[in-house]
Structure 1
């Protein structure tokens, strides 16, 4: 798949990772590996409304196959005046996911494992996005991440920026076929939206079934 330059409108664009950005992320969020190459990634400019309801511009890196739909997702959130505190590359936190979450930074690509495991995270493939993570923590057992989000672990409580099935972020991501960590059974990741790599064989079978049904 070609890594295209995409311009939806002012403030919403995607392109191959620029050289200066490559230098910023090498050895930080991007590490040499056999799973994903720099050319598989797209660099996005994203406009959003911050918590003061001011227009701000952020940057994000995702898998190139998801670039256009991620821009469309954030354009829909922007049009609906959905507030996101900040959108920065995790490199501004030296690739430290805990620090990024603690600062309520919404982000995507970071070549790392799932916290506490040896399993590669979908963030490492540019296929996951965390939204307002301080208010929407990752909870497994009695561990809450980020550590300063304990007051937001009670999902029955009423507070702003809480992602639920009724929240616009959930509805917009779901409309594009993304899944939500808040639906997990053994843990809950309320900030986390993700899209698995397409199973090409299953996709082909589904298309054939649809053609036959039609």
Structure 2
């Protein structure tokens, strides 16, 4: 399916439907994005202690797309049409290192922290579309929880940091952190998975800025990516590297086809 063109290619899986009986208790006592943080000199938000409500974060998913009616995994791969291009906003522009024709829109199922099946979207490079669908099919089968999966928009790029975002996403045209080279995300060749449960950490910088409680990887909580688990194995099978193995920085959310 990688690099497919034309109409969306539907996929069905033999994965059993998600049972409503597996639903986790809802924890609605937090409003994501409500409180902007003071800025550091480097432009990131001020790193703060994790609020009690988020130390074991299991927020329910807010559906932007219709959930699968049968509770099973489904996926489609499509070219980026004009409607999708407009929704992407400033996350892509002609100055990006990859053309819009070389990207694909994935619409696929995931299991939320509420234990229910949901439908999300992400944009990836056409060359890896099939591999990415394969990985997320495996995560769905394993019931690995994902809070949110939606397109990165202009509003996201312009928003002040609040330190509590948790969108699982792939393509966004930006440079590597603290550098001037294009990141693997700018090519659609990297994915950040549950970034709050799997924060980026280098020196005194933690991203997301309220996620410091998740630097303790010995306290295993839902959504955490751990060495040798179903997530790292699924990405390794398609040849992707994990940021948890990086030497100069800890980036547990990050998986990439390029190894960076």
- Equivalent position of 1:24 in the other structure: 87
- Equivalent position of 1:88 in the other structure: 150
- Equivalent position of 1:6 in the other structure: 9
Shift of 1:79: 1.6
2:231 counterpart (169, 179, 200): 169
Shift of 1:118: 1.2
- Equivalent position of 1:189 in the other structure: 251
Contact 2:104 2:125 in 1 (8 A): yes
- Equivalent position of 1:79 in the other structure: 141
Shift of 1:159: 2.5
Question: How far, CA to CA, are the matches of 2:161 and 2:137 in structure 1?
Answer: 27
Question: How far, CA to CA, are the matches of 1:6 and 1:98 in structure 2?
Answer: 37
Aligned residue pair count: 196
Structure 1 residues 90-112: Cα deviation after superposition (integer angstroms, max 9, x where no partner): 11743369859732110000000
5+ unaligned residues in a row in structure 2: which ranges? 13-72
Shift of 1:34: 5.5
Matched, 1:132 2:135: no
Shift of 1:11: 2.5
Question: How far, CA to CA, are the matches of 1:18 and 1:121 in structure 2?
Answer: 24
Structure 1 residues 6-32: Cα deviation after superposition (integer angstroms, max 9, x where no partner): 322262010101220111224x10022
Note the 1:135-150 alignment, pairs <5 A: 135-150=197-212
- Equivalent position of 1:123 in the other structure: 185
Q: TM-score by structure 2 length?
A: 0.70
Shift of 1:171: 1.0
Question: How far, CA to CA, are the matches of 2:197 and 2:159 in structure 1?
Answer: 15
Question: How far, CA to CA, are the matches of 2:163 and 2:122 in structure 1?
Answer: 15
> Which is richer in helix?
1
Question: How far, CA to CA, are the matches of 2:151 and 2:163 in structure 1?
Answer: 12
SS of residue matched to 1:69? helix
SS of residue matched to 1:53? coil
Superposition RMSD on alpha carbons, in Å? 2.2
Contact 1:73 1:172 in 2 (8 A): yes
Q: 1:192 to 1:93 in 2, by over 3 A?
A: farther
